Structure 1
């Protein structure tokens, strides 16, 4: 796929992503979202569909070439490769609820399903009433949500970079990233982005009721919604200058409501206000450890031959993702992009203070400042773009195969 290179005469200000909270002309800050799909939006959706087709091609090949039993003559259902890991928890909640038949964390074999927020399972149960196959319903949610997410990401990128190719390039970088497979599975990343990115756009237009409502919906999907809410609140403080500018302030408390209601529900069933956190600790070793200790434990699992090679490789990916996240946070702070820096730093703190790192590579999908920053660099340097895709393409395929064949992928 050929991409037109930016004009060499473009100034540095045109290619450096500005802070969402920085002073800009009113015509830029209040630019409305276009209600209809532009030619650029259609290009983004075409790219999205092509990458979905490529992923399904990989799924088809993986079923035949890498079966769980080398002697089998039946590759199984085309949906089977998507029924891995966290999908089972989402399915159990959507189908049976959080505490079926009185079971719960007091049982020795409990699966700790309360570690997963209810937004995605509720959406799954709703779609299942129309699409009576759980896996297909989950994939449909991610497919539709992913399309909304990439459209919103493209618009965020264009607002920041103000380049004709910025939206397409940013989406391209995201969809071909190593963990992009999780945007197509029955996981919560796509649904979260489909709510979080429009919330960010609404904040850019200073439509705080809409931004807060979308952030609240995002919080029903993932705890990361609270980090988004913190970033929105910081942006609000930095931009509330005009008389009456503080009136929407109460709206910013709205994203905390879903988290409180979920904690209240779990308390009513378990007697534990921290049931969500305790489920994370039991199932995923997310008990607090100092950042240095978490790094050390992950390093040991990655390189000291205490894990099987497949798991050790994934711990190596966790370390690399943490380094990328720290570099991104430092860059955002240096550029004084305070709201985005707060969002990324809160994510890193939550992920980097467990016994060891878990799911950081997947979390890079939620760091839209990363993809906008990489897009800015690639627009300035065709060599960087070429190097990125050459290095990332094999990793993307490898992670997709790892997940689809049940060998874990973060």
Structure 2
């Protein structure tokens, strides 16, 4: 008879360390299952770097070039320019700053990631390399946390939906927990837009805070969850959606509510960075909604009804009014939105109300603009999607095979598009 592993089995193995030693040697806190996930992560990074190297030679900026552009410069594109300018000049100085003749609407980007870039640059690292290094380290943290959450979910499902799912798929019982975590990480790392986990963007650093925060919340460690969620909210507005999920989880989670109410004040902490940033923009511009107005000016994110946003995106995708590069990206926006709505429905059907709140707010924010923008990128932040796919793949082997065969080439294609300047969305 196969039984679900206990919660203790999901915690790192080995003797715990205390004091400064545990911080100096954090790798001692990693279990064998965590190292397995990190091995997948390292191999995926090598794969991405190989694609970038090949694309630099096959698609040079100058067709007559005899040498490709430097590897690091291939990542110096698109929104990274905003983060770099914020890190170098702040929000209100330098070319394109707010109030200049041609503002670049950099107020739409939260300060957490640029602050880290500036810190590393002050230590002697190049701007672009600093962004890449942050994403590389943050990505490792994120996939370990994602795998641990997946193993925790598997242990709590139990029965036919838990470890027994792994057994029914032909997996050894002992591999049920570790394998589901490794699969969740693999599915995330092979997702079509996974290039943004490697680039100097905020997806990786957001997940590096949000996923450990969620894991801490599921284990009832609310002070730690709130502190980690602060890192998420200082990085992206999506941190507020995470906060909403934490609040729902707090009141609907297991355990005695009276005991948990002692930790309720901690849930105010994640809102502090957002209030502080909005207050800073208001002090400099006199506009309480400076962030929202920057989003509207730069990316057409003024409010529209969901059906209007769908219609406008559909016309852009299939109405032959955009160039082919933009049209195909709008097609991807539609596919990602459908996927998000299906995921929302599944979560609500399974009464996973905290994740439902997270997804509902995410889709509302993404689906009420003039048209859809960055929805495929946002799928990277939908951790219930990657865990759900991993759980399904334990039961039905073909899920993993189909995903790897379809998503892998799409991911490589997106890496080429991004690093060769052909990205259009």
Asked if the contact 2:72–2:128 (Cα under 8 Å) also holds between the matched residues in 1, the reply is yes
Distance (Å, rounded) in 1 between the aligned partners of 2:95 and 2:285: 10
Distance (Å, rounded) in 1 between the aligned partners of 2:95 and 2:322: 36
Distance (Å, rounded) in 2 between the aligned partners of 1:207 and 1:32: 14
Which position in structure 2 is the counterpart of 1:294? 309
Which position in structure 1 is the counterpart of 2:290? 275
Change (3 A) 1:105 1:129: closer
Offset at residue 205 of structure 1 (A): 1.5
Query: Structure 1: any 5+ residue segments left out of the alignment?
Result: 1-8, 15-24
Offset at residue 209 of structure 1 (A): 0.9
Offset at residue 280 of structure 1 (A): 0.4
TM-score (norm. length: structure 2): 0.88
Asked if the contact 2:230–2:269 (Cα under 8 Å) also holds between the matched residues in 1, the reply is yes
TM-score (norm. length: structure 1): 0.91
1:257 to 249, 272, 276: 272
Render the CA deviation track for 1:137-192: whole Å, top value 9, x for unaligned. Answer: 11100010010111111100000013331111110111111011110110010100
Which position in structure 2 is the counterpart of 1:111? 104
Change (3 A) 1:409 1:102: closer
Which position in structure 2 is the counterpart of 1:153? 146
Query: Structure 2: any 5+ residue segments left out of the alignment?
Result: 17-28, 156-175
Offset at residue 211 of structure 1 (A): 0.5
Which position in structure 2 is the counterpart of 1:51? 44
Offset at residue 312 of structure 1 (A): 0.4
Render the CA deviation track for 1:353-374: whole Å, top value 9, x for unaligned. Answer: 0001000101100000000000
2:87 to 94, 111, 123: 94
Give the secondary-structure state (helix, strand or coil) at the position aligned to 1:247: helix
Q: Which moved more, 1:98-107 or 1:133-142?
A: 98-107
Change (3 A) 1:31 1:395: closer
Give the secondary-structure state (helix, strand or coil) at the position aligned to 2:258: coil
Offset at residue 264 of structure 1 (A): 0.5
Change (3 A) 1:42 1:131: farther
Distance (Å, rounded) in 1 between the aligned partners of 2:40 and 2:79: 27
Which position in structure 2 is the counterpart of 1:224? 238
2:129 to 120, 129, 136: 136
Matches within 5 A, 1:8-407: 28=7, 36-100=29-93, 104-162=97-155, 163-164=176-177, 165-239=179-253, 241-407=256-422
Distance (Å, rounded) in 1 between the aligned partners of 2:149 and 2:384: 10
Offset at residue 234 of structure 1 (A): 0.4
Give the secondary-structure state (helix, strand or coil) at the position aligned to 1:109: coil
Distance (Å, rounded) in 2 between the aligned partners of 1:94 and 1:291: 35
Kindly tell me the number of residue pairs found equivalent between the two proteins: 389
Tell which has more relative contact order, 1 or 2 (C-alpha 8 A, sep 6+): 1
- Over the aligned positions, Cα root-mean-square deviation in angstroms equals 1.9
